[in-house]
Amino acid sequence: MRVVHLSWEYPPIMYGGLGRHVHALAETQAARGDEVVVITQAAPGHAPDEYVNGVRVIRVERDAPDIPDWRTRFIEWTFGFNVAIARAGIALAHQWRPDVVHGHDWLVAQAAVLVQEAARVPFVLTVHATESGRMGGMLVTDLSRAVDSTENWAVNRADGVIVCSTFMLEEVTGLFDCDPERISVIPNGIDADQWRTPEARRRAMRREFGGPLVVYTGRLEAEKGVQTLVDAMPILRRKVPEARAVVVGEGSAAGDLRARARRRRLGEAVRFTGHVSEADLRALVSAANAAVVPSLYEPFGFVALEAAVMGAPLIVARTGGLADIVRDGLTGWQYPPGDAAGLAAVLEEALSDPKRARERATAARSDVMARYSWPHIADLTDAVYRRAAGG
């Protein structure tokens, strides 16, 4: 099969789980014999057209208007990006006709439809998250309303729609008044072989950060719920005084979170590392006595898969796709999202009973490897392509 993916992020430009998903899916499809092209934004130091692990990657410079930083004027930035990838996709279709155009999120929706029309092939859309979900249902800005309307248009224009969890299925059908029969639930996946770390490096992290060690990795944004972890730490430390938390990542909420920790006089009990190397991230997660995913809104929860295959005991907020990944009491712990006392209670249980924590971590790893392998996910995605073509 010939597949063209349109994505605003792809290595080395990565903002979150979307880029990891497209990267792994494209390389898995190529490894099994599909012809795969990814069209994405240009990256410094990388060729505009090259093959990487069997995937042809076309990187485009944005067209006008000139927006130096997408965070300041996102809609205008996205407009220029869509024009550029649409031109690249249409030019590609004149030489190499794909069997399907696979667009990822609203950021490439207009381009995907233009390429689809030029190539006369199906358009499959993966909705990785929704603006309404990210904003807690409060579409109070022009930007949020513009994004929401584009998502609605794209979902109802696509020949097939993919979401990553049952939670997202309910969200998309509720928001956009679309036929649930057109939507397929396909989770994100993980390659366990890529998530390994040397024992010496894991021990070095334990020595550096102390313990019992609680680790969060991900973006520092309000919907990620890191504030709940900060608020839980004073409660936890009354029961487990040696407990330490490490927060890995960057984002717009970083300053507020650091200030919150200072107000609670947590000192070295909560450390913010900012961005770390992939090797250090893996070593930290594998060293954790508990990996926490405290999201208030989480369509899927890729970091939970990472922690599971690294063998870290998992504690997640009972929300979104996290509730699908972690089976409470069997493969980890769940608590009500935003409940600092609830998080502190399950953290105390995990840290105070290492044997039970290890048992649940072992069960989680086996469960994730069985349900979330990339070859299986590629097969499910291929079935969506075939249904879209039939429709």
Q: What is the pTM (predicted TM-score) of this model?
A: 0.78
Q: What is the token pair recorded at 94?
A: 């004149």
Q: What is the DSSP string of 182-241?
A: GEEE------GGG----HHHHHHHHHHH-SSEEEEES---GGGTHHHHHHHHHHHHHHST
* Nearest CA-CA partner of 248 in 282, 278, 273: 273
Using DSSP, state whether 358 is helix, strand or coil: helix
At 186-206, the pLDDT tens digits run 998 888 877 888 899 889 998
Q: For every one of its 391 residues, what pLDDT tens digit does the chain have, with 9 covering 90 and above?
A: 999 999 999 999 998 789 989 999 999 999 999 999 999 999 999 999 999 999 999 999 999 998 888 878 899 999 999 999 999 999 999 999 999 999 999 999 999 999 999 999 999 999 999 999 888 888 889 999 999 999 999 999 999 999 988 889 999 999 998 888 889 999 988 888 778 888 998 899 989 998 899 999 999 999 999 999 999 999 999 999 999 999 999 999 999 999 999 999 999 999 999 999 988 999 999 999 999 999 998 888 889 999 999 999 999 999 988 998 999 999 999 999 999 999 999 999 999 999 999 999 999 999 998 888 899 999 999 999 999 998 5
Residue 152 contacts residue 283 (beta carbons within 8 Å): no
pLDDT of residue 391: 57
pLDDT of residue 76: 92
Domains and CATH numbers, the chain: 2-189+373-390 (3.40.50.2000), 192-371 (3.40.50.2000)
pLDDT of residue 137: 80
At 299-325, the pLDDT tens digits run 888 899 999 999 999 999 999 889 989
pLDDT of residue 134: 83
* Nearest CA-CA partner of 285 in 151, 363, 176, 195: 195
Query: For the sheet containing 183-185, what is the strand order?
Result: 49-52, 55-60, 35-41, 2-6, 100-104, 123-126, 160-163, 183-185
